[in-house]
Amino acid sequence: MDLHIANKVFIVTGGAKGIGAAISKAIASEGGLVVVAGRNKDDNHTIVDEIVKMHGKAASHTVELGDPEACKELIDFTITKFGRIDGLVNNAGVNDGVGLENGSPEKFNQSLQKNLSHYYNLAHYALPHLKKTKGSIVNIGSKVAVTGQGNTSGYAASKGAINALTREWAVELLPYSIRVNTVLPAEVWTPLYANWIKTFDEPQKKIDSITSKIPFEKRFTTPEEIASTTVFLLSDQSGHTTGQILFVDGGYTHLDRSLT
């Protein structure tokens, strides 16, 4: 299937590692031009080099997304570099463990700034350019938005808001033929996830405990599976899909618990 994204321009926040890196590579593999945005300059350069070795096209911009002005600078950089924006992938965030009991109002607000505000800021500044291309926005969410997790109020609130904003923006942007959707992962095997697993006394036992609760094939979702759905939603092959929250999770969130 030709996704028709060749030579189109896409911003991927947190695009140098884990799910974001898989999305960046998937866009490039389809001929799209990627702007990788993140706070670590070395990581950004590494993924761009990998994409170039794939014969893809990419650029990177080192940015602290919690700063609204930096978000505007990212959009300006993309227009200066490539002249257009066809899609925005809001992916950057961190499950920072700011809970109700162990947190504070200050830490909660900081968590919202890290995990939510830049989704709005980037969409706001990208909007004039997305109107020109009838582009699309794909937000990356989390199962925590609908299941809860415990001790992560800031992250959960952010991801719940992202689900709501997806539908709000889908409605507001109907007149411009701009589609907005969210891809919602659950248990995805990334380097960050692997590092978390290593903190347990018996890592394999923890892995087995988690995968036993994933109905489809009792395995983790791969970053590439998240990326494939994301790129499809960016493309005009999903041209009548908007306001949707797609769970790419092996049935983890919704299927009957008797299966596990």
The class of domain 9-186+223-248 in CATH terms is: alpha beta
Instruction: Supply the pLDDT for residue 260.
Output: 86
What pTM value is reported for the model?
0.97
Q: pLDDT tens digit string along 49-108?
A: 999 999 999 999 999 999 999 999 999 999 999 999 999 999 999 999 999 999 999 999
Residues of the chain with CATH 3.40.50.720: 9-186+223-248
Helices assigned H by DSSP within 33-137: 41-53, 68-82, 105-112, 118-133
CA-CA distances (angstroms) from residue 226 to 25, 123, 152?
12, 21, 23
pLDDT at 217 over 90: yes
User: Is residue 155 annotated as a catalytic residue, yes or no?
Assistant: yes
Q: Are 101 and 119 in contact, with CB atoms under 8 Å apart?
A: no
Give me the catalytic one of 119, 155, 176, 193: 155
Question: What percentage of the chain carries pLDDT values higher than 90?
Answer: 97
What is the helix, strand, coil percentage profile of the chain, to 5? 50, 15, 35
